[in-house]
Chains A and B, each alone.
Chain A
Amino acid sequence: MFMKSVLRITVSAAVLALGGGMASAGNVEVLHWWTSGGEAAALNVLKDDLASKGVEWQDMPVAGGGGEAAMTALRARVTAGNAPTAVQMLGFDIRDWAAEGALANLDDVATSEGWDAVVPDALKAFSKYDGHWVAAPVNVHSTNWVWINKKALDAAGGKAPTNWDELIAVLDAMKANGITPLAHGGQAWQDATIFDAVVLSMGNDFYKASMIDLDENALGGDTMVEVFNRMAKLRSYVDDNFSGRDWNLASAMVINGEAGMQMMGDWAKGEFLRADQVPGKDFVCIRFPGTQGSVTFNSDQFAMFKVNDPEAQKAQKLMASAVMSPVFQSAFNVVKGSVPARTDVPNDAFDDCGKKGMADLAEANANGSLFGSMAHGHAVPASIKNAMYDVVTAHFNGEYDAKEAAAELVAAVADAK
């Protein structure tokens, strides 16, 4: 079986090579929301690679809303019986589509290229459905980062905080220095990003019990009340004008020195780099205090939809293989700020924060402390995620006190199940 599929791929590759340039090997229609400058440039690496193999790339970008618009477009396409070949997708969306039976089987490419050995298990939970590969992971974003302005940190004692008390000490010192200690944008997903990190800082077991297993005792218990207390404490370091601010504007506040730090996923690094800031010199990247060694992630993947045309199927598999090639994984992720989804990609091309991200990911993967991020749809399905958003953002905006919020969290999750 294994030999047979290897043979099939070799043969089809050979046929393609022979045909080279003359006939196209079908085309792939790709639905994605990577439209910003850097992202588009990174995608071009993939496009060129596929073009050299004779696969034509039909672009179908749907920008906006972190993929919400793209997912709505996808639903319309699939309902109309005309699914794109490949779709950029996050977490539970992949599972949901796989459960609908809409995704193609990539097992032959995966086995011949040995994806199983190089992709972390926590990612495979999404790339594989029912034991079959249905998606090719492109990157791993980790979300429990803190980005600190180096000057502001030096003025506040100079030592990067490693636990909650040190964090509060630094934030207080920054406040005393007359800057906004914490740059933050008041959007539900941003509130939830901080919430994720605070929950994780209470321990790996607690994160798993509350955010992944949805254990009611963890969701409504004393530890969760403490989490909400800490959220309220962090809220007190945010300026009053935070509501509705986009995350990149919050990053800009840290870059300008208007604010001390931002708690945000590694895509924020792109903003710092574009402002010609150097990791370690102008800004410092640390894991959220108390979470070093653990990683919450989200991962962009290309989910492959079932297509009937054999030409298109071939093109689809070529694309899956190109996405998983170490060269593309490195080239793309250097630009995107994330780290490769394969653990065997060399880290030479990455900056210090990227290297740290790769090392942390490998460590977390080895220790079983790599978890899907709740805020980014990799811990629970969309309905429950949004129910949690409702509570977290209402509490962050002062609607509940910590005890009410914990009780409300239990109720909201139960209703959304």
Chain B
Amino acid sequence: MIDRFQNWLPRMVLAPSFFLVLIFVYGFILYTGYLSMTDSKMLPSYNWVGFANYEKLFRLRHWNTAITNLAIFGILYIGISSAIGLLLAILLDQKIRAEGFIRPIYLYPMALSFIVTGTAWKWFLDPGIGLENTMHQWGWASFHFNWIKDRNYAIYTVVIAAVWQSSGFVMAMFLAGLRGVDNEIIKAAQIDGATGFRIYRKIIIPMMRPVFLSAFVVLAHLAIKAYDLVVALTGGGPGRATELPATFMYSYTFTRNQMGVGASSAIIMLIMIFSIIVPYVYSELRAGGKR
């Protein structure tokens, strides 16, 4: 009797959350997929139009801008955050004094919301009140930095703010990875006469492959769902120069009364996320099987 109860208890406790997730996550994903095939405007409608919304979506310049921006933002954001994070982690790993004090300093930006980061960097980068103005007041009159007001460069300011926010977090992940490397291996390499640089390049970094993967997955989904940072930093401007798929999705679904197109863009974003997550899960499962 008690055995049976113990057998069933975990399932009963998990069941409500399981069904909630099933309905409110996966159910609504299916619903969005269905809406993307309808002519929904302001409210959902159920007139089937097939792939017309997707055709329209990829005809829109606005969507092309958003996709291009996501590519620029995603590649630079993931690349630079990983590079800075790794560098900081390696430097912190040199058994330096006061590491416990320095580490949180780098990590704290992650504790801020993207809205705060965006607003602070908006002011800092604004030529009228921020860095440029301060430099002018200090007498460096030729100093010029107005990327945030320039439609060709504004997307890079989003990268700067996002990298500032996330590098510390990546550093923490890498640091944990570095500490996890077996000391015996490093000692063996030292006995064989390997220099510090070579040890990192040939032994430690290759051994940290799983950490790189985790960092990549975390950063990639942050990049695809980036919304609040853009809204706070540039508001999608100048013009529409810094729109990302997430801001595109929100505006088409909720303010432009083109819910069908908005839903199809949401599905495209979902496909992008899947194309990152699925290979990751697959490789994890395969590695797990080998063990």
A residues with a Cβ closer than 8 A to B are 68, 71-72, 75, 78-79, 96-97, 100, 186-188, 240-244, 381-383, 386, 390, 393-394, 396-399, 408, 412, 415-416
A416 cross-chain contacts in B, Cβ below 8 A = 258
Report if B59 contacts A (CB, 8 A). yes
- B40: shortest Cβ distance to chain A, in Å? 12
Q: A79-B43, A100-B43, A398-B151 are in contact. Are A240 and B238 (CB under 8 A)?
A: no
Query: Residue on A with the closest CB to B59?
Result: A415
Report Cα–Cα, A415/B64, bound state, in Å: 15
| Total cross-chain contacts (CB, 8 A) | 79
- A78-B43, A79-B44, A393-B237 are known; give 15 further A-B pairs, CB within 8 A: A72-B255, A75-B43, A96-B42, A187-B237, A188-B237, A188-B239, A188-B240, A241-B146, A382-B256, A382-B257, A390-B240, A393-B239, A396-B239, A397-B151, A408-B61
Residue contact B255 to A71, C-beta cutoff 8 Å? yes
Residue contact A240 to B235, C-beta cutoff 8 Å? no
**Which secondary structure characterizes the binding site on chain B?**
loop
Q: A186-B238, A382-B257, A397-B239 are in contact. Are A241 and B60 (CB under 8 A)?
A: no
Q: A96-B257, A240-B127 are in contact. Are A75 and B238 (CB under 8 A)?
A: no
Report Cα–Cα, A36/B225, bound state, in Å: 32
Residue contact A75 to B256, C-beta cutoff 8 Å? no
B residues with a Cβ closer than 8 A to A are 41-44, 56, 59-62, 122, 126-128, 146, 148-149, 151, 234-235, 237-241, 251, 254-258
Report Cα–Cα, A399/B151, bound state, in Å: 8
Residue contact B240 to A241, C-beta cutoff 8 Å? no
A382 cross-chain contacts in B, Cβ below 8 A = 255-257
Report Cα–Cα, A416/B53, bound state, in Å: 11
Query: Residue on B with the closest CB to A245?
Result: B128
B238 cross-chain contacts in A, Cβ below 8 A = 186, 243-244, 397
Residue contact A383 to B241, C-beta cutoff 8 Å? no
Report Cα–Cα, A122/B42, bound state, in Å: 24
- B254: shortest Cβ distance to chain A, in Å? 5
Report Cα–Cα, A415/B260, bound state, in Å: 13
B234 cross-chain contacts in A, Cβ below 8 A = 244
B146 cross-chain contacts in A, Cβ below 8 A = 240-241
The 4 closest A-B pairs by CB, nearest first: A397-B239, A243-B238, A241-B128, A393-B239
- B273: shortest Cβ distance to chain A, in Å? 24
Residue contact B61 to A390, C-beta cutoff 8 Å? yes
Residue contact A415 to B127, C-beta cutoff 8 Å? no
- B281: shortest Cβ distance to chain A, in Å? 33
A/B interface sample: 27 pairs, CB < 8 A: A68-B254, A71-B254, A71-B255, A75-B254, A96-B257, A97-B42, A100-B43, A186-B237, A186-B239, A188-B237, A188-B239, A241-B126, A241-B128, A241-B146, A241-B149, A244-B235, A382-B256, A383-B41, A386-B255, A390-B240, A393-B237, A394-B239, A394-B240, A396-B239, A397-B237, A397-B238, A412-B61
